[in-house]
Amino acid sequence: MEEDSDTRPIVSVAAAAARRRCRAPPFSCACPVTVEPVLFLCTFALALQGPLATQYLWERLREDLRYNGTKGGGCGNPAGPADPLQKEVEILTAHWNLYIGLGGFLVGLFVVILLGSWSDRAGRRVVLILPSLGLAVQAAVYLTVMYLKLPVAWFLVGRICSGLTGDFNAILAGCFAYVADTSNTGSRTFRVAVLEACIGLAGMFASIIGGEWQRTQGYINPFWLVLATNLAAALYAYLFVPESMTPQPEAKLFSCQHHRAVYTLFTSGGQGTQRTALWLYTLCFFLVVTVHFGSRDLYVLYELSSPLCWTSQLIGYGSAAQHLSYLSSLLGLRVLQRCLEDSWVAMVALVSNIASLVMFSLANTTALVFAGYGLGFLLMASTPVLRSKLSKLVDPSEQGALFASVACVEGLCSLVASGVFNSLYPATLHVMKGFPFLFGAILLLIPAGIIGGLGCKEQQARTRGTVVN
């Protein structure tokens, strides 16, 4: 017995040392920045890649069909029948974008849930590194297609390769779960908002750089930057991001347990009231992000066409104003949190979003469009509140499964938004050109009512002393 009692501390010390080695990266940093650069770099690469890939598809399909016209008709073109070849190029480009997006989403849907739930046991760092490498493989495939002039179907192969490693949604799940691991309930909403501000900043820089670079040097050089940026994100995560939890050596990647964990999370996790709140906040997140994606898809089309007829320079300014809302929302959230609960901060943000969409639905001058962008200065402050609310409803050991589910919902939002808003715009064009924006504003009344109702219940529960926040 004495020998067992003597060796037990030695074993525990050795095990603790092993866990510390797993948690520590090769280089440590005393600064509070952790996963923010990973999300910034991957978002920058994705935002730079997306428009360039679409333009490259258009150019290749135009060459295949031997169409020598220009991409943009412009407002000054005389009215008349559309060029059938140009219409065919546009249809083929839209179809290939749809195939590529669907292929990546359907493959990534199962992989993201697998990786997110697995990270609850195996640690977060691997879920940051693996998808970054997958995105780099996708960029390498795209470069190969451009150098060798391969059929555009190879773009789908690259997208599926990225989907097999979780794609960008796995990066989102890993980063938000990491922040949930390393923050308390009081600071979590702001930490999540900082991550979303990184998304906005990266998108703004990419939109400024991408178009001009492609115009002067073509497609290949920007895609080399996409490849390098994704590799840099993986390298940064490996070298500088400390593990936020203790990895379990027995954790298996390929196990049905991970998908069951997500199912259990939404069906039997927690108390009945918590499960109901989890579903309701997820519905709010779905509606808010769907409206955001849907309206964003229409901004450029709305600005290009009559009566606005914006030039590419004005469109660039509009894109910059749109992405600045991420920063203004972060600052606004920080200020509002000093005097309001998170639920009411989300309500103020939704009011800002609704006012912006209503203004866009009526805008027929450049001044009104920028007024719409200005009214939306808080529109991105609602999603960090919703992510934070969802995170507080589950156990610390379920954060990866939760944010993997949220990332899948976000991917679904993108598909639903494209289908609904891009179909609604031409269908209502002759009735009210801005109707899709008005439709989005009406949809946002649903999450506003849900968040307000849940916020009142939470406030009443705190008053009665039955809930400790």
Reduced DSSP (H G I as helix, E B as strand, rest coil) percent helix, strand, coil of the chain, to 5: 80, 0, 20
pLDDT band for 137, please (50, 70, 90 cuts): very high
pLDDT band for 22, please (50, 70, 90 cuts): very low
Residue 469 above 70 pLDDT?
no
- Amino acid 258: pLDDT: 62
Residue 19 above 50 pLDDT?
no
The CA-based dihedral angle spanning residues 401, 404, 405, 406, taken in that order and rounded to the nearest 10 degrees: 120
- Amino acid 51: pLDDT: 78
- Amino acid 121: pLDDT: 80
Residue 200 above 80 pLDDT?
yes
Of 132, 133, 101, 112, nearest in space to 177 by CA: 112
Specify the range with the lowest mean pLDDT, choosing from 33-37, 53-57, 184-188: 53-57
> What integer is the mean pLDDT of 7-27?
46
178 close to 35: Cβ distance less than 8 angstroms: yes
Residue that wins the pLDDT comparison between 389 and 21 = 389
337 close to 190: Cβ distance less than 8 angstroms: yes
Residues 157, 138: Cα–Cα separation, whole Å: 8
pLDDT band for 148, please (50, 70, 90 cuts): very high
Does the structural domain 31-70+85-244 have CATH classification 1.20.1250.20?
A: yes
Phi, psi of 57 (to 5 degrees): -60, -45
Residue 74 above 80 pLDDT?
no
Provide the residue ranges of all domains of the chain, joining segments of one domain with +.
Answer: 31-70+85-244, 267-469
Q: What is the pLDDT of residues 221-231, one digit of tens each?
A: 889 999 999 99
- Amino acid 220: pLDDT: 87
Question: Are domains 31-70+85-244 and 267-469 of this chain identical in fold?
Answer: yes
Specify the range with the lowest mean pLDDT, choosing from 3-12, 28-37, 220-229: 3-12
> What integer is the mean pLDDT of 146-175?
91
Residue that wins the pLDDT comparison between 61 and 14 = 61
Residues 154, 157: Cα–Cα separation, whole Å: 5
Give the fold, CATH level 3, of 267-469.
Answer: Growth Hormone; Chain: A; (1.20.1250)
